Each structure stands twice: as C-alpha cells, then as structure tokens.
Chains A and B, each alone.
Chain A
C-alpha cells in the first residue's frame, strides 16, 4: 500500500531521487561486489568457527592474533555489513515508505554500524592487544 501515488512529476523531480540513475547503479554494483566477497567471508568463517567453536579464549587469541587471519576477518565483516545494509534497504523500500521508511532506514544503519564496530573491533582488539 502506497501513501502517495507516484506520478511522472515525482520521477522527473531530481529532489525525490526516485529511480536515481547513479545511486541505483551504485547500489546494484555494490550489492554484487560485496556479495561475491561474501563467498570469501563464508570460507574464512567456516575455517575460523570449525577451529574455535567451544574453545577457550587462549585458543581464539592464538588463531586470530595471526594478522593474516584476523585482519581479513575484520575487513570481511565490514564488507558483510555493507551488503546487509544494502539488502535491508531493498526490503524496506518494498514494504515501507515515507517517515516509517526513513525511521527504519535509520535503525538499519545503526544496527549495521553496531555490528561492524563491535565485530571488527573485537577481532582487531584480539589481533593487536591479544
């Protein structure tokens, strides 16, 4: 259910950013690039979780403190978060609009920021400070 009918004027008005050519193309390409990189994330996640599930903190530190494991993991978590926010934007655009959409997009961005900062921050803390 749409509150407002989308007219030709809405689409023609650049202020609405309706069907914005640059933003939509960027969104499309970003989602593909981050999605492809997420295959690497899943491979690294599988490796890390298989090695560390249920293990002590010392074992976690011993593995993740290797910078060539910890730093890529932190970067790939950040990559996942970009994909998450983009994907949730698609979902919100489909089902919500107006002020509800803006509120939910704000919450979406906040959740993604928390995931990125806490996730990558925790890994980098282990990498650099043990």
Chain B
C-alpha cells in the first residue's frame, strides 16, 4: 500500500519536476546569460538537493512502473510476493539513485 502511495506521489513530483527540465532547456535555447542563471540556481546546495530528490523520484517511479508491467502478466500477485516486490522497488530505487550520483556527480 505504501508503494502505491509512493508511486502516485513520485508521479506527481515528476509532473512538477518536468518544469525544472523545461526551464533548463528553454534557458539553453534562449542564451548564455539565461543558462548561467539557471546553472547557478541548480548548482546551489538547494538546487542540488532538489535535483537529487527528482532523480530518486524518477527512478522510483520507473521501478514502480516495471513492477506494474510484471503485474500485467498476472505474476507476483500473491501475498508475500507483493511485499517482496515492494521492498525490491524501494531498495532498487535508492541504490540506483545513489549509484547515479556517486558515479556521475560525487566521484566525477
């Protein structure tokens, strides 16, 4: 049940978060000054915090979506299996997010 709520919550977060991507792309299309302002905001500690959350939200929603694809085949629906899938989703989303940020941001 918690995963259902999280799937909807991350979906709504992704809905709003798409505005962040579009603002960045629009600034890049507009000009160097606009892009530098967006880069400054997104590069600040608060911007990085939001982008980290957005990354996890996207990855978690993707994992939840893959879980729905498994359910669409009528597999993994029994009690116990469902709970295992729920734990797999949250653990996978956290690990994938940390790997992305470790490899591409913190170490790079």
Contact = CB atoms under 8 A, between A and B. Distances in A.
Nearest to A94: B8
Interface string A33-72: 0011011001001100010111111101100100000000
A104 interface: no
A32 interface: yes
Interface residues of B, number: 31
Contact of A57 (B21, B31, B100): B31
Contacts of B21: 45, 77, 119
A105 interface: no
**Do most interface residues of chain A lie in helix, strand or loop, or is the interface mixed?**
helix
Interface residues of A, number: 34
A56 B15 CA distance: 27
B39 A54 contact: yes
A38 B28 contact: no
A19 interface: no
A39 B35 CA distance: 27
26 contacts: A32-B68, A32-B69, A35-B68, A38-B62, A39-B62, A39-B65, A42-B59, A45-B21, A50-B104, A53-B39, A56-B32, A56-B36, A57-B28, A57-B32, A57-B35, A58-B32, A61-B28, A64-B28, A80-B18, A88-B12, A115-B18, A118-B25, A119-B26, A122-B26, A123-B25, A126-B29
